[in-house]
């Protein structure tokens, strides 16, 4: 977990070290945009912008989706990843609780059985 976080962190860091890429993130924070939009906004060739977006995408800061001929960029899958990680740790908490609850239900069942026998006698 720590190792993974560190690697991801380094990737983010590298991605954010460039002024254009920081500008792209800021832009996408306002609205989704196609690579063509971004290229013209930042006075750049399509190929150049594709490279920048690729670096941001690698770092999980930007997600892209191709619909027809247009590749649309939006702010990253990072948040979804974080949500998935949170849901998994929430599940682990409840799973641990419920394992303990299982034991108590077993105990109550046994106790009820014994008490039931006693009452019948």
Cα–Cα distance measured from residue 118 to residue 101, given in angstroms and rounded to the nearest whole number: 26
Separation in Å, CA 49 to CA 13, 39, 44, 61, 98: 18, 5, 6, 15, 50
Residue 113, interface with another protein (CB under 8 A)?
no
Residue 109, interface with another protein (CB under 8 A)?
yes
Choices 40-48, 57-65, 70-78, 103-111; region in contact with another protein by CB under 8 A: 103-111
Cα–Cα distance measured from residue 33 to residue 72, given in angstroms and rounded to the nearest whole number: 6
Residue 13, interface with another protein (CB under 8 A)?
yes
Choices 23-31, 35-43, 51-59, 98-106; region in contact with another protein by CB under 8 A: 98-106
Residue 3, interface with another protein (CB under 8 A)?
no
CB contact set of 65 (below 8 Å; sequence gap of 6+) = 71, 72, 74
Total Cβ atoms within 10 A of residue 29: 9
Residue 70: CB minimum distance to another protein, A: 27
Between 41 and 97, CB nearer to another protein? 97
Cα–Cα distance measured from residue 78 to residue 59, given in angstroms and rounded to the nearest whole number: 8
Residue 95, interface with another protein (CB under 8 A)?
yes
Residues interacting with another protein, by CB under 8 A?
2, 5, 9, 13, 16, 82-83, 86-106, 108-109, 112
């Amino acid at each position: 977990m720590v190792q993974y976080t560190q690697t991801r962190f380094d990737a983010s860091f590298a991605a954010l070290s460039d002024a254009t890429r920081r500008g792209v993130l800021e832009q996408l924070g306002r609205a989704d945009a196609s690579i063509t939009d971004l290229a013209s906004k930042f006075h750049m060739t399509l190929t150049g912008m594709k490279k920048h977006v690729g670096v941001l995408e690698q770092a999980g800061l930007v997600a892209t989706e191709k619909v027809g001929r247009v590749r649309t960029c939006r702010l990253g899958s990072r948040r979804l990843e974080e949500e998935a990680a949170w849901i998994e740790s929430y599940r682990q908490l409840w799973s641990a609780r419920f394992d303990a609850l299982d034991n108590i239900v077993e105990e109550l069942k046994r106790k009820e059985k014994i008490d039931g026998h006693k009452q019948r006698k």
